[in-house]
A and B are shown apart, each in its own frame.
Chain A
Amino acid sequence: MTPSILSHQEVADELALITSNPLDIVGLLARAHHPQAGAIVLFSGDVRNHSNEKSVAYLEYEAHESMASGMIAAIVEEAKSKWKLTIALATHRVGKVAVCESAVVVITASAHRHEAFVANRYIIDKIKHEVPIWKCEYFADGTKEWGGNCNCHTITGEVGKHVYEL
């Protein structure tokens, strides 16, 4: 039986933008190849074992899932309108994510590397600052902390306005 081959649009369309399942980084990357793409950039936001000099046991992510999905889709579409990309996709986990696991993956591909790099950075920065997803760090000492919040409003003076919009 011939395996079904998905177009890049279909790969992006079928991707869950918010998921509680482990992210299949290698599988996603394998499907990002394209005859017109000379550059594929993959960003993986991994869970590291330390934060603020404390040992991290694991992270737990929470999202307003319908808003987060809609906003990630809009950010990816915005990137595709700004740069010529053969593929752009992003997916973010919710729930418990272990050290060394990927919490978020962004893949961009373009004819030349510049656009893929710039678009990838644009997408991940916007996801981190604007999308209603929150991480809680659970430390090895048994404590926890909602962490890494975007504090742009303390600089911009306006809730929801970010440093890159100044």
Chain B
Amino acid sequence: MRVQVFAILKDYFDKEFELHENIHDMPALRERLIQFNPAAAGILNSCRFAVKDEFIDNDFQLAENDTIYIIPPGSGG
């Protein structure tokens, strides 16, 4: 799967990267990312995740060819 991060998360991860692991849902992906970079745990726990322009919930089943967008809390305006 492909992961794309935004804003402050770019201080912790590459903007885009591939993950070739058996990760099937958002909680598992979040845990894996926290393992990669524990310093990002706080911000990751406040993020929403999206696939194909829609926010996903914990039950959403991730597919190998999905691109997952990790969306920190907004700060527009």
Contacts and interface: CB of A to CB of B under 8 A. Distances in A.
Contacts, number: 80
Nearest to A148: B75
B6 A104 contact: no
B69 A67 contact: yes
A67 B11 CA distance: 22
Nearest to A126: B74
Nearest to A103: B77
Q: Is the interface of B mostly helix, strand, loop or mixed?
A: loop
* A104, A124, A150, most chain B CB atoms within 10 A: A150
Q: For chain B, which range describes its interface: under 10, 10 to 19, 20 to 34, or 35 or more residues?
A: 10 to 19
A149 B74 contact: yes
A146 B7 contact: yes
A68 B6 CA distance: 13
Interface in A121-140: 124, 127-136
A150 B77 CA distance: 11
Q: Is the interface of A mostly helix, strand, loop or mixed?
A: mixed
A131 B74 contact: yes
Interface stretch (A20-28, A31-39, A58-66, A78-86): A58-66
Interface residues of A, number: 33
A149 B53 contact: no
Contact of B6 (A64, A124, A127, A153): A64
Interface in B3-51: 6-8, 11, 45-48, 50
Interface string A126-166: 01111111111000000000111111110000011000000
B60 interface: no
Contact of B77 (A127, A151, A152): A127
Given A131-B74, A146-B11, 19 more contacts: A64-B69, A66-B53, A67-B50, A67-B53, A103-B77, A104-B76, A124-B77, A127-B77, A132-B6, A134-B7, A134-B75, A148-B75, A149-B8, A149-B46, A149-B74, A150-B75, A159-B46, A159-B47, A159-B48
Interface of B: 6-8, 11, 45-48, 50, 53, 55, 69, 71-77
